[in-house]
Amino acid sequence: QVQLVESGGGLVQPGGSLRLACAASRSINIAAMGWGRQAPGKQRELVAQIGQGGGLYYADSVKGRFTVSRDNANNMVYLQMNSLKPEDTAVYYCNYKHTVLYDYWGQGTQVTVSS
């Protein structure tokens, strides 16, 4: 079992930036780490992921605006979000994934983009 704790969410104006952080309770070295989000009435979607070897995935909706990074030494994962839009409003969840057997989500942090 891996516990994931997100932080850094909040209210930001359109065009603003936020940096989310995720602290894992154990080593993340062997895992792909990512961020998903769920808006009201919608399914959760994976928006960014960084693989064990550093490979990157971004959903089309966030490409060029969001950057995912990892700090294996401290079991941390980050999501830098720039040029935020109202449609980015959602609960953001940290994800740990290692094969199909080990797939964990945190409890989430709310991000609200509004003027």
Instruction: Give pLDDT tens digits along the chain (115 positions).
Output: 899 999 999 999 999 999 999 999 999 999 999 999 999 999 999 999 999 999 999 999 999 999 999 999 999 999 999 999 999 999 999 999 999 899 999 999 999 999 9
* Ramachandran class of 87: left when φ > 0, alpha when ψ lies in -120 to 50, beta otherwise: alpha
The distance of Cα 85 from the centroid of its chain, to the nearest Å, equals 16
